[in-house]
Structure 1
Amino acid sequence: MNDDTSKPEDDKAATTATETEATKPDEKTATAAATPDPIEALKAENQDMRDKLLRTIAEMENLRKRTEREISDTRSYAIAGFARDMLTATDSLSRALMVLPAEARDSSDTTIRSLIEGIEMTEREMQRLLAKHGVKPIEAEGQKFDPHKHQAMFEVPDPSRPEGTVVQVVQAGFAIGDRVLRPAMVGVAKGGGATGAPAEGTIDKSV
């Protein structure tokens, strides 16, 4: 006698087999999606290497420029300390010439005249050598007071000059390149307003 009644276990096994077959394509798709495209991977690696190369080139160029600038600064400012000491000697010669009385220059004594001429020649030669190595005087008289280049020693009441104008130089200042070796010691105008006319409401105390 044939038993047409299906066993539950057989039906469950058939269903599981069907589901397994149905899920196989999805698993293949997921596996394919998880595997990176070798061409895209190579493109990404190539882009990364290119970026690193460009950064390295830029860094090397910056280093080259910085090194050139440092070498240039060293050449320009290496004698700054020596030049500053030379200025002290030059000042001494200038002061020696300033204190000489006028009659000494006109003296009939050949020795005195030769001594004065020798001092003057030495001062000029020292100034020439300083200029040859880039040490130049700072413009001061008639200029607007600049605290980076000038050192104010006193104020001069002068209503005819704009306020803050350098009207007297006590000691010349010098610079080497863009650096100040020493500021110029100056007297600065006071009381002239912004354009040189007496400031409104001020009183000229020099009268």
Structure 2
Amino acid sequence: MSNEKNVAEQEETVDTQDTEEVEVEVVDAEDVTVEEAEETADETTAKIAQLQAKLDETENKMLRNQADFDNFRRRTRLDQEAAQKYRAQSIVSDILPALDNFERALQIEANNEQTKSLLQGMNMVYNQLVQALQNEGVETIKSVGEPFDPHLHQAVMQVEDDNFESNTVVEELQKGYKLKDRVIRPAMVKVNQ
């Protein structure tokens, strides 16, 4: 029985506490004046405006980061395309002096059959090198009879020749080469005044 009494007393205490809390809430709500409600509304509005400003700033940062990432991705793609397009540039630059030496060697006049045979073999190797370079997109720069272009030609001499117009390439001293649209080595030329 004593347990039943304790349980009943606890239930009454709980009921009383719930009632008191409700009464306190009601009393607090009644004590709030219109001015206090307006101040609370103003504080809430200010807090909403502050949170909206933070949200706008965060969205702005996110959009800028997205744009930066898109620009980075585009630059990386362009760099990769250029690297792929001009991947053979260093090897072409290294091969060009050997190609020049082949051309000089092929200009020798052959006096006997052995020399002719040797020149024929060298000519075959030279043609294979030229073909391999052409397959990679290497082309020679046309010079003789063309107007002088400082992007394609390197003028090492000026001459006066009535057979050519002014500022025209008269003679090519060393061949120039382009890899696709990039000049690997400008042609060394003589230019008419």
TM-score (norm 1): 0.65
Contact in 1 for aligned 2:145/2:164 (Cα 8 Å): no
Task: Indicate the residue corresponding to 2:91 in structure 1.
Answer: 82
Percent identity over the alignment is 34
- Could you list the runs of 5+ residues in structure 2 that have no partner in the other structure? 1-32
Deviation at 1:51, TM superposition (A): 1.6
Deviation at 1:160, TM superposition (A): 5.1
| Separation (CA, whole Å) in 2 of partners of 1:38 and 1:159 | 87
Q: Deviations over 1:57-114 (max 9, x none)?
A: 111111112212222233333432322221111111111111225xx4xx6x3x4433
Structure having the larger proportion of residues in helix: 2
- Could you list the runs of 5+ residues in structure 1 that have no partner in the other structure? 1-23, 191-207
* Cα pair distance change 1:43/1:34, threshold 3 Å: closer
* Cα pair distance change 1:92/1:61, threshold 3 Å: same
Deviation at 1:41, TM superposition (A): 4.1
Question: For the aligned residues, what is the CA RMSD?
Answer: 2.8
One of 52, 55, 66 as aligned partner of 2:75? 66
SS class of match (2:190):
strand
| Separation (CA, whole Å) in 1 of partners of 2:48 and 2:145 | 74
| Separation (CA, whole Å) in 2 of partners of 1:153 and 1:100 | 28
SS class of match (1:36):
helix
| 1:136-147 map, 5 Å | 136-147=139-150
SS class of match (2:145):
coil
Contact in 2 for aligned 1:150/1:173 (Cα 8 Å): yes
Deviation at 1:180, TM superposition (A): 2.5
SS class of match (1:180):
strand
Task: Indicate the residue corresponding to 2:64 in structure 1.
Answer: 55
Counterpart residue identity of residue 187, structure 2: A
Q: Deviations over 1:28-48 (max 9, x none)?
A: 767754553455445433332
Contact in 2 for aligned 1:76/1:134 (Cα 8 Å): no
